[in-house]
Amino acid sequence: MSKAFISGCKGLVITAEEKAFFAGERPWGFILFGRNIGEPQQISDLVASLRDSIGNPEAPVLIDQEGGRVQRIRPPIVQQYPNGAAVGAVYRQDAERGLRAAWLMGRLHAFDLMRFGITVDCLPVLDVPVEGSNEVIGNRAYGFDPHSVTAIGKAMAEGLKAGGMLPVMKHMPGHGRAFVDSHHNLPVVEDPIDVLRKSDFLPFTAMKDELMAMSAHMVFNAIDPTQPATTSPKVVHEIIRGEIGFDGLLMSDDVSMNALAGNIEARARGIFAAGLDLVLHCHGIMDEMLAVAKVAPVLAGDTLRRTKAVEAGFRKPDASDEQSLREEFASLFATA
């Protein structure tokens, strides 16, 4: 039986040590980063070897393939995609064209990624930034209002699903008000909860029926001034599960990010104690992977139910013609 974590690996191939670790600890899924990307056949071979290491040919393999600066597989392997803000700009010129651009981008990501066996894209970015907030979200966001972010996010997710992939919404319950980079420091949001309800929470509430989401490493003083959302039972149960109404699979953002306090084992314990389903560990550092695996439970209860819903949620790709969609996508941005 799989355990409640998602793991990265260090390089272009899995080492004997990694293979033994994966076989013994059985993560539910895997995630790829730029350091894992060499050339097309290598990517396919790595994906296959990760799955083979746990004896599960269907194990979810995730990637952050947004476009812009967060795009792990780049030219010449796949085209460079515009960032979220550029999609938002098309939408603000013409909403119908913007939604079509978002759907097309999701569908084209699926064409690109499914070739390698990658089945989950950590997209859409549903964060609603505010003026002056840190660039950790910045131009990854689709806009500064929750309604355009929701509309574009939905279209992007539908494009991915039409291509046989599944999306992961990020970063719940909203990362747009971060004034520091959560990779390095802990953002603290001072705004009252009524403000958050009218903005940050709205895209997630509108898309609460999606199967997967990723948490935000941020403190919301109005909800829980003592813990970031990722390790806050109050945020998870009262806001994410309660008010937003999300009953899908909730994974942490990367447990290695320094917005979280303590060593990796303590962080992972805090994540599970808060009520998240899975710990995400990205960096392929074996000591940290061992620490996560040590505290990760075997899938059971609601978490098992949610992982099974994800596994059953992949659908056969539609019959779209890739070349015609690429030409249409290029034309939408050429005239933007």
Inter-residue contact 83 to 123 (CB < 8 Å): no
- Residue 248 within any structural domain of the chain: yes
Inter-residue contact 212 to 248 (CB < 8 Å): yes
Note the pLDDT of residue 336.
58
- Residue 85 within any structural domain of the chain: yes
pLDDT at 6 over 80: yes
Q: Identify which of 170, 171, 203, 213 has the alpha carbon closest to the alpha carbon of residue 310.
A: 213
3-state SS assignment for residue 79: coil
For the chain, how far is it from start to end, CA to CA, in angstroms? 49
Range of the domain at 221: 71-284
- Residue 168 within any structural domain of the chain: yes
3-state SS assignment for residue 299: coil
- Residue 296 within any structural domain of the chain: no
- Residue 301 within any structural domain of the chain: no
Q: Which two tokens stand for residue 39?
A: 């050339």
Q: Identify which of 197, 187, 101, 206 has the alpha carbon closest to the alpha carbon of residue 147.
A: 206
- Residue 15 within any structural domain of the chain: no
Which tens digit of pLDDT belongs to each residue from 200-226? Answer: 999 999 999 999 999 999 999 999 999
Q: Which pLDDT band, with edges at 50, 70 and 90, does 143 fall under?
A: very high
Overall pTM > 0.85: yes
- Residue 197 within any structural domain of the chain: yes
Catalytic annotation, residues: 183, 253
CATH number at residue 114: 3.20.20.300
The count of structural domains within the chain is 1
Note the pLDDT of residue 285.
96
Inter-residue contact 128 to 144 (CB < 8 Å): yes
- Residue 93 within any structural domain of the chain: yes
